[in-house]
């Protein structure tokens, strides 16, 4: 059967894709082009004139040791968020999969945090860990652990990772649970008869079958940690103490809107753009490598 759909009017298909194209151009391509243009310019202090400087902004960026520090922060932060999110989500999904009574309620409750905006999640965790009156901070103090993320950079990093991972766990949980439920029961039973205990069954049968989902989530979580966690950082630490929790996106904002160094900020955006393009390419390239059922 011939499957090509043909339109009588040759302009109709273009007309139909026009709205999508318009949205893409106005909200994605145009700002990206602006950023790209800006990254080659240096503006004077009053914003009255700008000068084309070729790659000077990038050179300045990559020769600045502070930028590498932020890169390391970003790496720590995004790996932390991804690992915490996925380990907790998988653990919850495996447990939810085994629940028999009140299964629906349990699953529904676990998906709720996904509805919480990152900035709100940040504020929530900030309240819990406020060094002077946060419930969890006080609890930690009573067992002899001095919590003050305003002074301690490592604690601040742990806090932003927790706050950023928390709403994300729900999202990962949904995917893991769906993947677990799509594994035929009889496979697990066959493994049980073959002599594998619960742990062995998980690692030699279930986990390999979850690998397409796991891979997808790794990429999606990295993208999230890189680009969508601005709200968390801004509400919880503003990148502090010092630059302990300053990540790439936050530096773009800080240099551009607080430091008003638009050229450098734009150059950083371009770097981020390259990273996101890379991550997307990896995902597209390997997403096809699925386990065959």
In the bound state with other proteins, the residue whose beta carbon lies nearer, of 8 and 101, is 101
Q: Which member of 94, 128, 174, 196 binds other proteins (CB under 8 A)? A: 196
Least Å distance, CB 272 to other proteins, is 36
100 forms part of the interface with other proteins (CB under 8 A): no
Least Å distance, CB 292 to other proteins, is 3
Least Å distance, CB 252 to other proteins, is 41
Question: Nearest to residue 84, comparing CAs of 153, 146, 167?
Answer: 167
In the bound state with other proteins, the residue whose beta carbon lies nearer, of 69 and 97, is 97
> Torsion angle of alpha carbons 90, 95, 101, 105, nearest 10°?
-30
Q: Which member of 64, 154, 194, 228 binds other proteins (CB under 8 A)? A: 194
In the bound state with other proteins, the residue whose beta carbon lies nearer, of 2 and 101, is 101
In the bound state with other proteins, the residue whose beta carbon lies nearer, of 184 and 278, is 184
Give me the phi and psi of 132, to 5 degrees please: -90, -35
**Residue 52: which H helix or E strand, with range?**
strand 50-52
Q: Which member of 195, 199, 285, 289 binds other proteins (CB under 8 A)? A: 195
209 forms part of the interface with other proteins (CB under 8 A): yes
Task: Round to whole Å and give the CA distance between 84 and 82.
Answer: 6
3-state class (DSSP) for residue 26: helix
292 forms part of the interface with other proteins (CB under 8 A): yes
Question: Nearest to residue 112, comparing CAs of 99, 101, 124, 100?
Answer: 124
CB 73 within 8 Å of CB 246: yes
97 forms part of the interface with other proteins (CB under 8 A): no
Enter the tokens of residue 269: 């955006």
Candidate segments 22-30, 54-62, 130-138, 208-216, binder of other proteins by CB under 8 A: 208-216
DSSP string, 10-73: TTHHHHHHHHHHHHHIIIIIHHHHHHHHHTTEEE-TTSS-EEE-TTHHHHHHHT-HHHHHHHHH
In the bound state with other proteins, the residue whose beta carbon lies nearer, of 208 and 259, is 208
214 forms part of the interface with other proteins (CB under 8 A): no
In the bound state with other proteins, the residue whose beta carbon lies nearer, of 51 and 189, is 189
| Residue 114 DSSP code | G
Candidate segments 33-41, 101-109, 124-132, 182-190, binder of other proteins by CB under 8 A: 182-190
Q: Which member of 81, 92, 191, 217 binds other proteins (CB under 8 A)? A: 191
187 forms part of the interface with other proteins (CB under 8 A): yes
Contacts of 167 (CB under 8 A, 6+ apart): 113, 114, 116, 117, 118, 121
205 forms part of the interface with other proteins (CB under 8 A): yes
| Residue 112 DSSP code | G
Task: Round to whole Å and give the CA distance between 12 and 183.
Answer: 44
Positions that interact with other proteins (CB under 8 A): 184, 186-187, 189-196, 200, 204-205, 208-209, 211, 291-293
């Amino acid at each position: 059967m011939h499957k090509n759909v043909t339109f009588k009017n040759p302009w109709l298909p273009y007309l139909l894709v026009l709205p999508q194209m318009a949205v893409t151009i106005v909200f994605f391509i145009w700002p990206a082009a602006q950023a790209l243009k800006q990254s080659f310019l240096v503006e004077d202090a009053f914003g009255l004139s700008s000068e084309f400087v070729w790659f000077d902004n990038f050179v300045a960026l990559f020769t600045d040791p502070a930028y590498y520090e932020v890169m390391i922060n970003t790496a720590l932060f995004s790996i932390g968020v991804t690992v915490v999110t996925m380990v907790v989500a998988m653990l919850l999904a495996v447990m939810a999969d085994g629940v028999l009574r009140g299964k629906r309620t349990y699953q529904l409750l676990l998906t709720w945090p996904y509805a919480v905006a990152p900035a709100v999640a940040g504020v929530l965790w900030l309240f819990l860990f406020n060094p002077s009156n946060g419930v969890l901070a006080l609890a930690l103090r009573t067992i002899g652990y001095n919590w003050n993320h305003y002074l301690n950079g490592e604690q601040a990093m742990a806090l932003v990772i927790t706050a950023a991972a928390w709403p994300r766990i729900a999202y990962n949980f949904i995917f893991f649970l769906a993947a677990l439920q799509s594994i035929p029961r009889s496979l697990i039973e066959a493994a049980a008869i073959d002599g594998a205990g619960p742990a062995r069954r998980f690692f030699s049968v279930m986990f390999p079958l979850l690998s397409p989902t796991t891979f997808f989530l790794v990429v999606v979580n990295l993208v999230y940690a890189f680009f969508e966690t601005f709200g968390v950082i801004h509400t919880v630490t503003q990148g502090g103490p010092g630059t302990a929790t300053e990540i790439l996106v936050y530096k773009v904002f800080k240099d551009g809107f607080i430091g008003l160094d638009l050229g450098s900020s734009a150059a950083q955006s371009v770097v981020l753009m390259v990273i996101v393009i890379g991550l997307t390419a990896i995902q597209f390239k390997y997403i096809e490598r699925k386990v065959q059922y």
